[in-house]
Amino acid sequence: MMKICGPKLSLCCTILSVWAIIQLGLMAIFFYVRSPAFIEDLKIDDHDHHDAEKFLKALDTSYSTIAVNCAISAGLYVVTLAVSGWQMWVNKNS
Amino acid sequence: MGSIFRSEEMTLCQLFLSSEAAYNCVSELGEIGLVQFRDLNPDVNAFQRKFVHEVRRCDEMERKLRYLETEMKKDNVPILDNGENPEAPQPREMIDLEATFEKLENEMKEVNSNAETLKKNSLELMELKHVLLTTQLFFDERDSEPGTSITQNLLPAEEGKGPVQLGFAAGVTLRERMPMFERMLWRVCRGNVFVRRADIQQPLEDPITGEEVFKTVFIIFFQGEQLKTKVKKICEGCRATMYPCPEAGAERKEMAQGVKGRLDDLSTVLSQTTDHRRRVLAAAAKHLRTWFIKVRKIKAIYHTLNMLNLDVTNKCLIAECWIPTSDLGVIRDALRKGTERSGSSVEPILNRMQTQLKPPTFHRTNKFTSGFQNLIDAYGVATYREVNPALYTTTTFPFLFAVMFGDAGHGVLMLAFAAWMVIREKALIAAKMSGEIWNIFFGGRYIILLMSCFSIYTGIIYNDVFSKSFNIFGSAWRINSNATVENLEHWEELTLDPANREEYSGKPYPFGFDPMWQIAVNKIAFQNSYKMKISIIIGVIHMIFGVVVSLYNHTFFRNYISLVFEFIPQMIFLIGMFGWLCIMVFIKWIMYGAGPEFGEERSSFCAPSVLITFINMVLLKKEKEDPTTPCKVFMFEGQYILQLVLLVLCIICVPLMLFPKPLILKSLHNSKKRHHEQQAIAQNGELGGEATTSGHGEEEEEFEFSEVFIEQAIHTIEFVLGSVSHTASYLRLWALSLAHAQLSEVLWNMVMKIGLSQSFYTGSIMLYLIFAAWAALTISILVLMEGLSAFLHTLRLHWVEFQSKFYKGEGYAFTPLTFKHIVSGDEDDA
C-alpha cells in the first residue's frame, strides 16, 4: 500500500472533500433551479447586455454551465474523498 | 442546599485527629476532595516543619522516578497507563517503595556506565581498525616500489649528512578539526612535516553524547626527535587520538586481526548490555505510573499534615478546615473510613467554629457549567455568597456572541466541530492530548456548542449563509412596471419604493431579513439602522438585568441602605434615560411606516430621528414646528412634558446616589459607638473599674467619613458616566456583525466568484481548486479569527458592562486537598 501523504493531510483532505461534496452539490441544484441569489456570480459577456432576448439567453446558458461545473467539481471531490479516505486507512494500518 | 445561583455555604471546622489515624484520614479526605485545610503554622520555615523528613524522602523518590522516566523515554519504552487510581500507601510501605526505587536506580546507573565504557572501547578499536586500514593503503603504495623503505629519503644524500630516517605518527581526529590541525602543524613545524589524510566514510558514535560524528585518519611524517615531540604535543592539544602503528606489514596484519576479534567480542557484550537495560526498563514501565501517583499522594498528604498543629499532650493533631456545610455527612464518613483503615480506636472529632474570617467561594459545577464558571473566575472570583453571574452567562454569552457572528454557514461549521468534541468526549479525555491550544478549545467545548447553535439562529435572522440569502417564504418585494428595456438601458439601478404597494407587498417577510436585500445596493444602510437599534436595546436590557441582580445581593446581605439609595436611583436613572430611548425606538417602529396605511404625519418622510430627539431632551431644546411639511417634531402629544419629568427624575437620582448613604453610615457608626460606650460605663459601674476593652471581642471598626464619601462618589460617577459609555459600547454588537458580513461577502466575491463565473465546462477544474482555497480562508479568517474576536468582545461586554452593575468579585477560590489532578496526570508542583 503506497503512502502519498501523512495522517494530518489525509484527514484534512477527507473533511474538505465531505464539505465540498455537500456544498457543491447543493450549489449545483440551486444553479439548476435558477436561484436569484447567485445572479451576481454569473458570467455574461458585455455584448449580450444590450439586447433583452440575448441577455435572457445568456443568463440561462450561464446558469446551466455553472450548474454543470458545480456538479463536475463535486464529482472530482468524490474522487478526492476516495483517495484521501484510502490514504487515511493506509496511515492507520502502517 | 447548593445551586449555581450562589456559592456554597462554608463552615470553618476544627478537626481533632489521633496521631495514628491522621495519615489515613487525610488520605481519605484527599480522595473526596472537599476539604480546604488552613495553614496553622504560617510562620514556620519549610525546613522546621514536623514532617519535613518524609517530604524530603518523597522528593528523593520522585527524583528517582523521573530519572527512570527519562531513561524510558530515551529508549522509547512505552509507559503503561491503565487509568487505575491506586490509594496512597501506608507510611510503613514507603520504605519498601524507597528500596525498590533505589535498587532500580543503581541498576540503571550501573548499566549505563558499563555501556559507556564498552562504547568507548569499541570506538577506540574501530578507530584503530580504520587507522590500520588507511595506513595499509599508504604503505601499499610504497611497497609497489620494492626495495625501498618509506622512511628513506627520495633525494640523494647530501655530502656530509648521514642517512635520514623518517618517523611517523598515525591517529584519528574529527573531520571538522582537520584543517585547523593541519595548519597548526604547518606553522609550528615550519612546513617540515608531511601529512596525509583519509576520511572515514561511515560515522562513528560518540560514546558520551550518542551522536554520530565523522572522523578522519591522518598520518604525519617527520624527521628527528624535536619534530616528533612537537607533533605529539600538537596532537594532544588538538585532541586527536594517536594510535601506535607498526611499520612492518606482517605486524599490521596481525594487529588488524586481533582488533577484529576484540571488536566482535565487544559488540556481543554491548548488545547483551542494551538488552538487559531494555528488560529492566520494560519491567519498571508497567508500574511507573502507579508509583508516580502513589509518591505524589504521599507527598500531598505530608504537606497537609505539616499544616496541622500538634496538641499539647502530643497525642493528636488539630486541623482547621473549610468545608461546604452540605457535605458534612460525606466528610464524617470519610473520616470514619480513614480511622478504620488505620486501626485506631479513637474517633476523630469534627467541630464547627464561629468565625469572622471570610470563607472561600465554592461553586459546585458540572462539566457543562465549569466552562462558563472559568470565564467568570478569570475576571475575579465571586465574593462569598454573592450571586454567581455564571448562571446567566450560560445563555447571554452565546447569544451576544451570535449577534456578532451571525452567519448560519459558519455556525454549521462550528457546530460540526463542537458536536464532534462533545460526542467523542470520553475518548478524547482518555487520549490525554497535549497542546495548550487544543486543551483550551476542548475545555470550552460546551461553550462553542452553544455559540454555534445560537449563531445558526441569528444567521437565519440576518438571512446570511456564507454571504448568500435563502428565500424560503417568498420575498415581499416585486419588480414593477418601471422595469422596461428602455429604462434599464439608461438607469444604473432600479429603485423600489416601499410605499408603493406594487413594489412592496406590505406583508413583511415572516422571519428574518427579506432575501431581496442581498442584491440591494443600500443593503448596508438598511441593516445598519436595524442592527444599531437592536444593539442598544439588547444592551439596555442586559444592563437593567445587571442592576436587578444587584437587588438580590442587597436583600441577601440585608444591605437595606444600598437597596434604597443605590438600587432604586440606579434603576430610575437607567430606565428613565436609556429605557426611554429604547421605548422611543419601539414607538417609532410601530407608529411610523411607508405606505398608504400610515397617513402623511406618520410617513417615513416624517419619522423623527430618535437620537436627535434624545439629545434635545437632555439639552431641553424645544424645536419649532416646520409649517412647510406635515411633520410634527414630537411623536405624540405631551412628549415634551414627559421627557422633562423623566429628565428631572434622573437628575434627582444623582445626589440620591451620592449623599445619603455615607451620611447614614456615619450616623449608624456614631450611634453604635455611643451604645458601646454606654455599655462599657454600665459594666464599669457593676464590676468596679475593670478594663472596658474586654467588652469588644471583635475588631475595632474604623470609620473614615472622607474615605466612605469618596468611595461613594466614585461609585456614583462610575455608574452615571458609565451608563452612557456602556450603552454606546454595546454598539460593538452592530460593528462586529457588519464586519463579519462584509468579510464574508468580500471573500465570496473575490475568491469563489472567480471559480464560479466560468463560460466553459473546463472551469470545473478551476472551481475545484478555488473551492479548496475559499474553504481554507473561510475557516481561518471567518470562523477562527472572527470567532475569537467576537468571543473576546462578548467576554468584555460581560466583564465590564454587565458585571460592573452588581459584581464585587473580591472572594478567593476554594482550593480543597484533592488527588484528582494527580490521578489525571497533570504536572503539578506541590
Cα B411 to chain centroid, rounded: 24
Q: Nearest 5 degrees, angle CA B555-CA B560-CA B566? A: 95
Q: Which residue is closest to A61 within chain B, CA to CA? A: B759
| Residue B586 CB partners (closer than 8 Å, separation 6+) | none
Q: Which residue has the cell 468579510?
A: B743
8 Å CB contact between B46 and B52: yes
- Measured between beta carbons, the chain A residues lying within 8 angstroms of B765 are 76
Q: Do B767 and A39 touch (CB under 8 A)?
A: no
Calpha distance B271→B167 (Å, rounded): 40
Burial group, residue A73, by CB count within 10 angstroms (0-12, 13-18, 19+): buried
In a domain, A2, yes or no: no
Q: How many CB pairs under 8 A join A and B?
A: 67
Q: Is residue A1 part of a domain?
A: no
Beta bridge partners of B167: B222
What is the per-residue pLDDT for B377?
A: 94
Residues whose CB is less than 8 angstroms from the CB of residue B813 and which lie 6 or more positions away in sequence, other chains included:
B360, B361, B377, B381
Considering only residues 736 to 765 of chain B, which have any Cβ-Cβ distance to chain A shorter than 8 Å? 749, 752-753, 756-761, 763-765
Shortest Cα–Cα distance, A1 to chain B (Å): 27
**Predicted confidence band at B689 (pLDDT cuts at 50, 70, 90)?**
very low
Cβ-defined contact of A37 to B772 (cutoff 8 Å): no
Q: With beta carbons under 8 A apart, name residues in chain A contacting B772.
A: 16, 20
Q: B386 with B362: CB under 8 angstroms? A: no
- Neighbouring CB atoms inside 10 A of B525's CB total 9
Contact A70 B764 (CB under 8 A): yes
pLDDT at residue B729 in the model: 96
Taking only Cα atoms into account, the Rg of chain B, rounded to an integer number of angstroms, comes to 43
Could you tell me the pTM of the whole model? 0.85
- Please name every residue paired with B387 in a beta bridge, in sequence order, or none if there are none: B6
**Of residues A40, A62, A68, nearest to B519 (C-beta):** A40
Given this model, what pLDDT does residue B42 score?
Answer: 86
Q: Looking at the domain that runs over B1-40+308-362, which CATH code has it been given?
A: 3.30.70.260
Task: Please tell me the distance from the alpha carbon of residue B643 to that of residue B613, in angstroms, as a whole number.
Answer: 10
- Please give the tally of structural domains in chain A: 1
**How far off is chain A from B764, nearest CA to CA, in Å?**
5
B756:A65 CB<8 A:
no
Query: Looking at CA atoms only, how far is residue A73 from chain B in angstroms?
Result: 5
A15 lies in some domain: yes
Residue B460 distance to chain A (closest CA, Å): 15
Q: Which three cell numbers stand for residue B630?
A: 406635515
Whose cell is 462569598? That residue is: B384
Nearest-CA residue of chain B relative to A24? B771
Q: What is the pLDDT of residue B59?
A: 92
Cβ atoms B566, B400 nearer than 8 A:
no
For residue A88, is it within any domain? yes
B478 reaches A (C-beta below 8 A): no
Q: Is A73 on the interface with B (CB under 8 A)?
A: yes
Looking at CA atoms only, how far is residue B657 from chain A in angstroms?
55
**A64 found inside a domain:** yes
Instruction: Check if the beta carbon of residue B362 is closer than 8 Å to that of residue B46.
Output: no
CATH class of the domain at B127-142+166-271: alpha beta
Q: Indicate if the pLDDT at residue A13 is higher than 70.
A: yes
Residue A24 has its nearest CB partner, among B468, B489, B771, at B771
Predicted confidence at residue B229, as pLDDT, reads: 87
ipTM over 0.95: yes
How far apart are the CA of B748 and the nearest CA of chain A, in angstroms? 9
Q: Does residue B148 or residue B291 have the better pLDDT? A: B291
Report chain A residues whose CB lies below 8 A from the CB of B519.
36, 39-40
Mean pLDDT calculated for residue range B705-734: 94
A78-87 pLDDT, tens digit each: 999 999 999 9
Element at B292 (helix H, strand E): helix B249-306
B contacts of A62 (beta carbons < 8 Å) = 757, 759
Q: Is the dihedral of CA B402, B404, B405, B407 positive or negative?
A: positive
Type of residue numbered B490: H
Tell if the CB–CB gap between B471 and A37 is shorter than 8 Å.
yes
Q: What pLDDT shows up at residue B396?
A: 97
At B13, is the secondary structure helix, strand, or coil? strand
Q: Contact, B206 vs B172, CB < 8 A?
A: no
Instruction: Tell me which residue range forms the domain holding A35.
Output: 7-93
pLDDT in tens, B15-46: 988 888 888 999 999 999 999 999 888 888 88
CA B190 to each of CA B165, B185, B186: distance values in angstroms, whole numbers, following the listed order: 19, 8, 5
Which of A73, A78, A84 would best serve as a mutation to test chain B binding (most B beta carbons within 10 A)? A73
Most confident listed range (B294-308, B532-546, B617-631): B532-546
* Residue B266 contacts residue B121 (beta carbons within 8 Å): yes
Nearest CB neighbour to A66, from listed B485, B489, B756: B756
Give the per-residue pLDDT at B168.
82
* Cross-chain Cβ contact A66/B519 below 8 Å: no
Structure confidence at residue B149 as a pLDDT band (50, 70, 90):
low
> Can you read off the three cell numbers belonging to residue B45?
520555615
